[in-house]
Amino acid sequence: MRDNYNSDSIQVLEGLEAVRKRPGMYIGATNIRGLHHLVWEIADNAIDEVLANFANKIKITINKDESITITDNGRGIPIEIHPKTKVSTLETVFTVLHAGGKFDSNTYKISGGLHGVGASVVNALSKYLKIEVKKNDKHYLMEFHNGGQILTPIKEIGATKETGTAVTFLPDEKIFKETTIFSFSTIQNRIKQLAFLNKGLEISLFDLRDDEEEKSVVYQFNNGIKDYVLELNKTIGTPLNDVFYVEGVENNIAVEFGLQYNDNYSENVFSFCNNINTHEGGTHEEGTKLAIVRELNNYFRNINKNNKVNEDKFTWDDIKEGMTTIISIHHPEPQYEGQTKTKLGNSEVKKIVSNIVGKGLNSYLLENPEDAKNIIEKINLSLKARIAAQRAKETTRRKTVMDNFSLPGKLADCETKDANIAEIYIVEGDSAGGSAKSGRNRRFQAILPLRGKILNVEKAKQLKVFENNEINSIITALGAGIKDNFNEKKLRYQKVIIMTDADVDGAHIRILLLTFFYRYMKDLIENGNIYIAQPPLYKIQNGNNIRYGYSDNELETYKEELLAQNIKNYIIQRYKGLGEMNPEQLWETTMDPERRLLLKVSVNNAFEANLICNELMGENVEPRKKFIRENAKYVKNLDI
């Protein structure tokens, strides 16, 4: 289909001025995310050439001057005159908005889709942009500057036997006011993911900014999604089977799927369409689940002839525990829905995916009886646990009804019933809880003290989670239920603030709490209801003058200021725990809305956060220890 590309299909819509006036509309924001968006945009075009099987190498270079060069070994962007615009196709692609056909499926554009706004947007937001095309035994060059104005019209600069495209752009600092510095690790993470998602593609990153050491990485995964599942699962637990892998194409839709169980209990289903993580799922995920449930039940019925029951025995809830699976599809005309436009809507996809995954899984189970046995055993255990958990839940529910929605005894609730102004502090330890109770503004601040460490939900079976006292108090205090039954309208507090000591134990408790919220009340994180309190690390007192330091840097600054004023008799107190502060101090430094510092936990990238949770919470103790050691305040890492 993409071989029939011709320049006619490029639609001429509007000029580049609009992009410079309202860049946010095209790339989301002009912050560091928006800056990297430019890289994804140009890389997407090269990936399209890979998907069309005309290229297999992409190289990204961060140049000394913070410009980026993206090179591919494809056919080279067409340079002949475009019938509609009367200029070269190359020029059209870089000057006309939506050229490349977001609204026209009859073009080469296939990857991206979410941010498929086209190369012209990158040109509009760049101070300088250069394209080099090698094709027809010639080497061509064209240059733009000042947001897409032609600097050098297309011209031949030499002869070559090679083919390919190289785009260099320098983002305009008048647009990207926050920063124009690229992050090696951000680009590295994304190209590694692209290498997993595009089997066989060799994609490399070079960083030429540091004279002392040139950094570079190269990725190539010849087993695609299979390698991806292996890598993900490795961070979660011990594998129970070889990766089941299948790929297929139907109706121009390419499907790639991998599955592996581990000895843990969390569900890790990830889906992609055109290389984009579809956080909200959609029809490809539905088709996958349908096929897995159907085939596993079929298999179980067949090996177990005595089982006369006709209905399905295993539900998705039984099957998903400890499963890591990735479904990746490439679709020429994706339709996205949902709040963040990350839910695939194309209805025909469900059946196609269900067919391909189902057929593959059926043969895999028959051909690998050892693996099949391990999987079935695991699912049978989950089934038993589910039934037990259901009973436990029913008892709890009955109790709640009889207790007339009684709140946990430890909770010091606030006076207001208005959730819009109410907030709850979840506090580590009874003594800090005591100070917080006396120090708070009881009109709108509730305090829930926790005793000791809370359960690690990543390692525990569902039943244990419901039996855990600390977790039960949190669920009851918040009042909004959990998982699929979570109802944000019933949430009793609009801010849920985690307040723990500023030490390693505090960091651990914070991670355990966040993991619990991530797995059981994900909406809370996604809606921005979860916050981390920031207690001070130091008190600096000279006479009646008291200041608090929230970081080592701040302490140093204060010391320098005092020195500058020739003040030498001051006292520095280092707070080791919340308990060392009296109620007034705790109010002043950490709880007073006028003065406190709260960090909002946002999971912009739920996928990565999930990985961090798994890495930290799974059986493997080493990554967790390492992470906690390195990262007392790890919120920044979640907030990608």
Q: Which residues bind ligand 0RA (CB under 6 A)?
A: 5, 45-46, 49, 72, 74-78, 108, 165
Report in angstroms how near the CB of residue 17 gets to ligand 0RA at its nearest. 24
Token code pair at residue 628: 């906690």
Query: Which is the catalytic residue, given 80, 156, 503, 552?
Result: 503
Q: The tokens of 390 are what?
A: 């259901």
Which of 66, 67, 68 shows the shortest CA–CA distance to 58?
Answer: 68
Tell me which DSSP letter residue 412 carries. B
- Least distance from C-beta 75 to ligand 0RA, angstroms? 4
CA distance 100 to 12: 10
The CA distance from 23 to 32, in Å, is: 13
Q: In the structure encoding, which two tokens stand for residue 125, read together?
A: 């937001």
DSSP 578: G
Nearest CB to ligand 0RA, comparing residues 75 and 320 = 75
Distance between CA atoms of residues 476 and 448, nearest Å: 11
Q: Of 138, 117, 90, 96, which Cα lies nearest the Cα of 12?
A: 96
- The answer to whether 546 and 539 have CB atoms below 8 angstroms apart is yes
**Least Cβ distance, residue 337 to ligand 0RA (angstroms):** 28
Using alpha carbons, select from 48, 74, 87 the residue that is nearest to residue 134: 74
Place of tokens 């006076």: 415
Rank residues 74 and 258 by Cβ distance to ligand 0RA and give the closer one.
Answer: 74
Q: What are the residue ranges of helices labelled H in 522-605?
A: 522-526, 552-564, 583-586
Q: Which is nearer to ligand 0RA, 90 or 385 (CB)?
A: 90
- Taking the least distance from each CB to ligand 0RA, the nearer of 167 and 498 is 167
Structure tokens at 399: 């109790």
Distance of alpha carbon 112 from alpha carbon 101, whole angstroms: 12
| Closer by beta carbon to ligand 0RA, 108 or else 516 | 108
Q: Which residue out of 428, 458, 526, 588 is catalytically annotated?
A: 428
CB 278, min distance to ligand 0RA, A: 24
The span from the CA of 544 to the CA of 473, in Å, is 41
- Please report which residue ranges of 334-406 form alpha helices under DSSP H: 348-367, 369-402
Strand order in the sheet with 215-219: 149-159, 138-145, 126-135, 164-171, 68-72, 57-62, 202-207, 215-219
Task: Give the burial class of 62: count Cβ atoms within 10 A of its Cβ; 0-12 exposed, 13-18 middle, 19 or more buried.
Answer: buried
Q: How far is the CB of 90 from ligand 0RA (least distance, A)?
A: 9
Residue closer to ligand 0RA (CB basis): 45 or 61: 45
**Three-point CA angle 58, 25, 32, nearest 5°:** 55
Specify whether 505 is catalytic.
yes
Closer to ligand 0RA by Cβ: residue 69 or 614:
69
503 is a catalytic site residue: yes
Complex with ligand 0RA: residue 46 or 463, whichever CB lies closer: 46
Question: Whose Cβ is closer to ligand 0RA: residue 38's or residue 422's?
Answer: 38
CB of 386 to ligand 0RA, least distance (A): 50
Catalytic residue chosen out of the listed positions 256, 501, 526, 615? 501
- DSSP run (H or E) holding 204: strand 202-207
φ/ψ (deg, to 5) at 233: -65, -30
User: Least CB distance from residue 72 to ligand 0RA, whole Å?
Assistant: 5
Smallest separation (angstroms) from ligand 0RA to the CB of 280: 29
Least distance (Å) from ligand 0RA to the CB of residue 147?
20
Q: For residue 75, which amino acid is it? A: R
In DSSP terms, which residues pair with 257 in a beta bridge? 246, 327
Task: Judge contact between 264 and 328, C-beta under 8 A.
Answer: no
Question: For the chain, what is the largest distance between any 2 Cα atoms, rounded to a whole number of angstroms?
Answer: 89
Contacts of 236 by beta carbon, 8 Å cutoff, 6+ apart = 262, 264, 266, 268, 324, 614, 618
Choice among 505, 554, 592, 608 that is catalytic: 505
User: Annotated catalytic sites, by residue?
Assistant: 428, 501, 503, 505
